[in-house]
Structure 1
Amino acid sequence: MKIHLDKSLPGGNIAVPSSKSYTIRGLIAAAQANGQSHIISPLIADDTLATRQVLSELGIDISTDAGSESWEITGNTFKAPSGNLFCRESAATLRFMSAVCARLPFECHLLAGHSLMRRPMLPLIQALHQLGIEIETRGNTTVINGQVITRSKVSLPGNISSQYVSALMLMAPACTHGLEIHLATPPASLPYLKMTKQTLGSFGIKVHSSIDWQEISIPPQPYLPARYRVEGDWSSASSFLALGAIAAPVFISNLDTDSFQADRIMIKFLAEMGAEIESGQNWVKVNPKPLSGINADLTHSIDLLPALAVAAACAKGQSILSGVRQARIKESNRIRAVSQGLSAMGINIIEEDDRLIIEGGQPKGAEIDSFGDHRIAMAFGILGSVVGETHISDAECVTKTYPDFWKNLESLGGKVTQDV
């Protein structure tokens, strides 16, 4: 599907969807608890439905409560699957479920979607090997011979993806002696580890971590059933926060300003650039002001790269976005995708190994390749709606995390048309 954007000045009120990261973590925790749990206000999108489907095929009963926005999960009823477990394009599903399947006493085949195949799994595979697990990749399939895990010490790099560490944390309580996880390098995207710890705590799991989070200890203990409410998604909000800074006031509800989510820092970055930020209980409002360039370290909030880059493109002066190396191994090579898109819109940009240097200016409409990446499509959708004459390919990729994105942009006054 191709989206066409004519020039407009979108602004107004929206409620962002629930958090993908918290929904997936909550699902996997609930699946390992004895008894019934409820996930309240889950995100319903491709990534979370991938996790739900994989768990269902492993014997976990998940139903939608009639008349309410919640899922009911009857946990700890795992059984051997009858076929491949399709993870779609969800890296969190593939990585987290690889660890969970490793401690189940049967063989599992986790199948990756097309873009997911290029995202690295080796550090997690090596960590599971240390624990005695037979796991290997065969083309687009990860084959796991699960077993009772009696080893308790594991070491892996912390600077490639926090998802490897979260995967081990989610499996640790069910290991015979728990797990002691050592990170050989400081963790990237640290807030995501804190989110995992918070979710585990909601299901009765005690987690001990050092101040620098390079040592994590989780004793063996049972998951307890819980009522688990999912908060709004700051990552999905980031493009609309940028819209408020470059176009017209945007009021966004369903956002916890005290959240552990890494991408909450977006409002700090926009404020430093000159935008006016207001906030209250469960809401944020961004008012446009003349923006200046920014030096921003995205080491712990790498998903903000596309949205912050389009704001920087509209700012006066130079912006340097650093700590972005790992953006190359997301759904697309986001450094290349952002650089190519902004260059097409007339913005001078220098692409380095771990930085993007953006000279703010007056972007113009262009043909944008989303590379099938939801965050690229959303960020350039925002910028395209402001400058007009912009066309975005593979725009349906937003269903990965934000199925109503284009509808929400239209509700704010964006002029959006589509070719199927």
Structure 2
Amino acid sequence: MSKPLDLHVGNAGTAARFLLAMTCLGHGQYRLSGVDRMHERPQKELIMALRELGYQIVSENGNLPAIVHGQGPRPGSSCTVSIRESSQFASALLLSATAGGWDIKTPLEQSEHAPYVEMTRSMIESFPQNEDAACQIEPDASGGSYFWAIKHLMSKHGSNPSENIQITHWPQTDWQIDTEFPKFLPLPQQISREQDLGDSIMTSIVMAPWSSHSTSFSELGRLRVQECERVKALKTELTKCGAQVEEHGDTLKIHPGRLHGASIDTYNDHRMAMCFSVVGTQIPGIVIKNPACVKKTFPNFFLKLASPAPEGLSMKICNASTGELLSPNDLIA
């Protein structure tokens, strides 16, 4: 192949990392790139691990853009990959390891609490080997956390009945760390990103002003290198709404207090848009900028909020400029 095959991943870190590993199994050159923010997000540890396996990857700074020289499987090769910055580095390698003949290890001290890596291992073990067999994919617990939050906030502080809100088909395994989310309602005084919750800790953070006590959210470092600098973004947008937020290292401490409407910047981050939509179900005047960014993981999120029961929550979602109710077609990203 004289010219690399271009693979543009947008701002999808999962796609970028899984493709970095998978394209090594091909034969030819593949150029992976994305939006500017994607080029800032960490990939170096994964690239180093792939090089340890014997693959040639050209990258100026250890991030994207990168050119992968696919060489096919390399049976018997092994590597150790750090998951300090992202557990997806290990997941990417594990998903291609069987086809590649690789032996993948992670540092022992990082393996003691790596729920997403364990989820990957469990999925690989349970995946049917028969091509005709079906594999049931669990619902996304992180995406479900928004509806648990709305139900909880309505039950405590809202004027609308919440007893009829049911989150159905909740995952029955413990593969996803965010299946623990309902156990953290009401919010305790401390929640850790490393020990307690995954992406759903962002949902907990925007709920904190309605708590009866101050809440500290610790070990948030990984949030800084995701779709946006999420620690800064959460603090900024909550402060716009009147919340009292303290930042100490990688910890946010949020105090209870009354919020008000504000225009919310989403930073092209799907989870920022959905988290502050939860806020918008509790107070008037929340305007979500660039709501279409939810397309990345939950394109019908706003439709789910607005649809009548039993499919949705019967929320009214309006055009911020005209005040007109948005149609179902308008609510799909």
2:188 corresponds to 1:264: no
Could you say which residue in structure 2 is the equivalent of 1:13?
A: none
Could you say which residue in structure 1 is the equivalent of 2:169?
A: 254
| 2:58 counterpart (121, 136, 139) | 136
Residue type of the alignment partner of 1:352:
H
Larger relative contact order (CA 8 Å, sep ≥ 6): 1
| 1:195 counterpart (97, 103, 119) | 119
SS of the aligned residue for 2:207 comes to: helix
Give the Cα separation in 2 of the matches to 1:135 and 1:184. Answer: 26
Could you say which residue in structure 2 is the equivalent of 1:149?
A: 74
The answer on whether the counterparts of 1:305 and 1:324 sit within 8 Å (CA) in structure 2 is: no
Give the Cα separation in 2 of the matches to 1:188 and 1:417. Answer: 46
- Deviation for aligned residue 1:82: 7.6
Alignment of 1:93-242 (within 5 A): 93-137=15-59, 140-147=64-71, 148-176=73-101, 178-183=102-107, 185-187=109-111, 190-203=114-127, 225=131, 226-242=133-149
- Deviation for aligned residue 1:89: 2.1
The alignment's C-alpha RMSD in Å is 2.3
SS of the aligned residue for 2:39 comes to: helix
* TM-score normalized by the length of structure 2: 0.84
- Deviation for aligned residue 1:385: 2.2
| 1:337 counterpart (233, 238, 246) | 233
Residue type of the alignment partner of 2:314:
G
Give the Cα separation in 1 of the matches to 2:256 and 2:169. Answer: 31
2:241 corresponds to 1:371: no
Give the Cα separation in 1 of the matches to 2:272 and 2:306. Answer: 18
SS of the aligned residue for 2:228 comes to: coil
Could you say which residue in structure 1 is the equivalent of 2:157?
A: none
Q: Deviations over 1:132-183 (max 9, x none)?
A: 111123685221012132452212222211100011111211234x314132
The answer on whether the counterparts of 1:320 and 1:358 sit within 8 Å (CA) in structure 2 is: yes
Could you say which residue in structure 1 is the equivalent of 2:213?
A: 317
The answer on whether the counterparts of 1:377 and 1:397 sit within 8 Å (CA) in structure 2 is: yes
Change (3 A) 1:294 1:81: farther
* TM-score normalized by the length of structure 1: 0.67
Residue type of the alignment partner of 2:86:
S
- Deviation for aligned residue 1:184: 5.7
Could you say which residue in structure 1 is the equivalent of 2:158?
A: none
The answer on whether the counterparts of 1:159 and 1:188 sit within 8 Å (CA) in structure 2 is: no
2:193 corresponds to 1:298: yes
Could you say which residue in structure 2 is the equivalent of 1:85?
A: 7
The answer on whether the counterparts of 1:157 and 1:185 sit within 8 Å (CA) in structure 2 is: no
- Deviation for aligned residue 1:254: 2.3
Residue type of the alignment partner of 2:44:
L
Give the Cα separation in 2 of the matches to 1:158 and 1:82. Answer: 28
Change (3 A) 1:265 1:199: same
Give the paired residue count.
Answer: 303
Give the Cα separation in 2 of the matches to 1:191 and 1:97. Answer: 21
Unaligned runs of 5+ in 2: 155-160, 308-312, 321-329
Q: Deviations over 1:270-299 (max 9, x none)?
A: 14x3xxxxxxxxxxxxxxxxxxx5211121
SS of the aligned residue for 1:106 comes to: strand
SS of the aligned residue for 2:30 comes to: strand
The answer on whether the counterparts of 2:91 and 2:120 sit within 8 Å (CA) in structure 1 is: yes
Alignment of 1:34-49 (within 5 A): none
Residue type of the alignment partner of 2:316:
K
Whose strand proportion is higher, 1 or 2? 1
